[in-house]
Amino acid sequence: MPSVRQHGNLTTALWTAPLARRAGGASCQEYPRNYPEDGDKPLLVPAPYDGLYDLYLMSKSDFYLRELDNYNNSALAYNTALDEWKKAYHRSHAPIGAGYYKNVF
């Protein structure tokens, strides 16, 4: 399992995206920021989609090792997994502005 330090940038990017807003302005859990102090905190992406972190690390390592064929494949796999997680997130979390306008016409 990847450490908090290795995928801290990914978690920060996912957390600060508009996906972190929830209906009714409910507060969100605090995401891990520092290793080893925050090593026990849960990550943003839940269990069925937590392979996203591994795919991100594989694509980054292929990019820095300049293995372009492997990078293209791992980046495609990461983007597919990210899209699936985004779809699942949007299905289960309504945006903040949902439900304000009723019977307008």
Half-sphere exposure of 85 (CA within 13 A, CB side): 20
Regarding pTM above 0.75, the answer is no
The span from the first CA to the last CA of the chain, in angstroms, equals 53
| Alpha-helix residue ranges (DSSP H) falling in the chain | 8-16, 51-64, 68-92
pLDDT (0 to 100) of residue 38: 81
pLDDT (0 to 100) of residue 9: 62
pLDDT (0 to 100) of residue 105: 60
pLDDT tens by residue, 38-77: 878 887 888 888 899 999 999 999 999 999 999 999 999 9
Q: For the stretch 66-99, what's the b/e string if a residue is b when 16 or more beta carbons lie within 10 angstroms of its beta carbon?
A: eeeeebeebbebbeebbeebeeebeeeeeeeeee
Contact yes or no for 29/14 (Cβ under 8 A): no
Residue 33 Cα to chain centre, angstroms = 14
Average pLDDT over residues 68-91: 92
CA-nearest of 18, 94, 80 to 52 is 80
pLDDT tens by residue, 4-17: 455 556 656 665 55
pLDDT (0 to 100) of residue 10: 64
